[in-house]
Amino acid sequence: MAQDGGGGRPKSLVDEARRVLRLRHYSVRTEESYVHWIRRFIRFSGGRHPREMGRVEIEAFLSHLAVEGNVAAATQNQALNAISFLYKRVLDREIGDLGAIVRAKKPRKLPVVLTRSEVMELLSRLDGVPRLVSGLMYGAGLRLMEAVRLRAKDLDLERGELMVRNGKGGRDRVTVIPTRMAGALRDQLAYARALHLCDLAEGFGAVFLPDALARKFRGAEREWSWQYAFPAAARSRDPRSGATRRHHFGETAVQRAVKRAVREAGIVKSASCHSLRHSFATHLLESGYDIRTVQQLLGHRNVATTMVYTHVLNRGGLAVQSPLDQI
């Protein structure tokens, strides 16, 4: 165990992992996920310290997840990434080739896509922030977290443009703001700004800024442009810094609202928030938009990822016309 800088209690391996994760500006979600898998790896290995283990024990753990745990391929990869980070960044050790692990099967699944009428039925059963966020997921092709994390400066209502900053893979992109949402979004921004002014008057008003922007741009955390477009109803304590701030609207609340709306609309498909983004892409392709344009709006690195939507176009199986319809 390492000794902390103040001469207090020795740092545990988990404490050191958290320190390195924060030093490298990993998100809170990633930090909690990595710590979870590091602890599971240690428990699986009988409490042994990772320094005493290596490739054999790592392969055994990952194979156990696939065989006994029956986890999805993405879950196994997440565990692998966490353990790789532990060895490379925290323990400064290479773990070598892991070719002997049993890989979890990665079934090829087509995305769940709603029809236009199903989308309208779903949205009509939502109100408030969940309706606005869901409208942006379908109308602009946003992921859920991209939508709830929007800042005031990311919405250009005059140009009808929306900037997604630090999206999946750390990439920025520009997408469209639905014209029919401009008025509601303008009202939402006015509400968020009034809430921010109240926070400032009460001695608060600072918002979380990514990386080291708070130190680089003094006072930026209190500026209106950096505030969340969809602020939470109440202030909360930052789990890392301990500061009391107003975070963004909770993604779980949106997920629950969408799930309830799907049920009330009588939609039998296994639809979720992400189905709205899938529907955005599919409906654009159905309308004749170029696949490269859709790729840019979605923020896909490779057009092959976008190609999956060509298989779910509303033109029959594999986008062909049935011979029965040609008689």
Catalytic residue among 18, 125, 131, 143: 143
Q: Under a CB-based contact definition with an 8 Å cutoff, are residues 282 and 311 in contact? A: no
168 catalytic? Reply is yes
d(CA 253, CA 273): 11
Neighbours of 203 (CB within 10 A): 8
Q: Which residue has the tokens 């769940």?
A: 112
Catalytic residue among 131, 196, 277, 283: 277
Nearest C-alpha neighbor of 235 from the set 290, 196, 279, 183: 196
Nearest C-alpha neighbor of 22 from the set 98, 117, 90: 90
d(CA 238, CA 179): 35
d(CA 254, CA 131): 8
Catalytic residue among 19, 89, 168, 247: 168
Nearest C-alpha neighbor of 253 from the set 95, 76, 114, 134: 134
d(CA 276, CA 315): 19
Instruction: Work out whether strand 155-156 and strand 161-164 pair parallel, antiparallel, or are unpaired.
Output: antiparallel
309 catalytic? Reply is yes
143 catalytic? Reply is yes
193 catalytic? Reply is no
Nearest C-alpha neighbor of 74 from the set 46, 32, 43, 109: 109
237 catalytic? Reply is no
Nearest C-alpha neighbor of 188 from the set 250, 246, 129: 129
The contacts of residue 177 (CB under 8 Å, 6+ apart) are 136, 139, 140, 155, 156, 157, 160, 161, 162, 185
Question: What are the residue numbers of the active site?
Answer: 143, 168, 274, 277, 300, 309
